[in-house]
Structure 1
Amino acid sequence: MNGLYTIILLILSNVFMTLAWYGHLKLQETGTSSNWPLIGVIVFSWMIAFFEYCCQVPANRLGFVENGGPFSLIQLKVIQECISLGVFCVIANILFQGTHLHWNHILAFVLIICAVYLVFMDKS
């Protein structure tokens, strides 16, 4: 069960992080934050990122093998990166309608899935 909770929390944390990193660009595009000083945009992003940490830290604690979870430190990182790219693609396509996946992006994701496979491969 810890593995499932870890994955769910990592998905949630990456939604918040992607919004913190790129959401301000959409706000600027719509004119909402066009007149904000850079420090205002940074603080706004930090406020969103707070919720990312509220999900990320428990995900890593629950999922880490030394805390009774099923994943090694390296496995947690590779899972997080894979989820991060998937979440980014979904949010980018929703917020930024002109963003499209091309063949090289799909190939890159296939290679990332290969990396996940390699990280979880039996070491013996």
Structure 2
Amino acid sequence: MRSRAADGEEREMDEQEKEPRVCYHCLVGGRVQGVFFRGAAREQAMRLGVTGYARNLPDGRVEVMVCGDPNAVSQLRDWLRVGPGHANVTGVACEPLDYQPYANFVIE
């Protein structure tokens, strides 16, 4: 697919420009630390092909940034509401952000 750049020149669009991309910043509460939540989130993210990060917060919540294809991001957001087997998720709050390209999904 071709597009016209700001200078009027036509150029080939790369894959990320062809498909819409979204990012969500999520805070997950409950029993979510010490239960492999971040590792399981990374496994799900890699399976879905999304990028971002997961990290523990001092207040006991897990912070998750997830970016990529809207459908895949939605699937990971749904998974956050359940988490891995030993987790007990009591709440998830997500807010959309401008798309930010991450190389992969990491545990911080």
Q: TM-score, normalised by structure 2?
A: 0.26
Higher helix proportion (structure 1 or 2): 1
Q: TM-score, normalised by structure 1?
A: 0.23
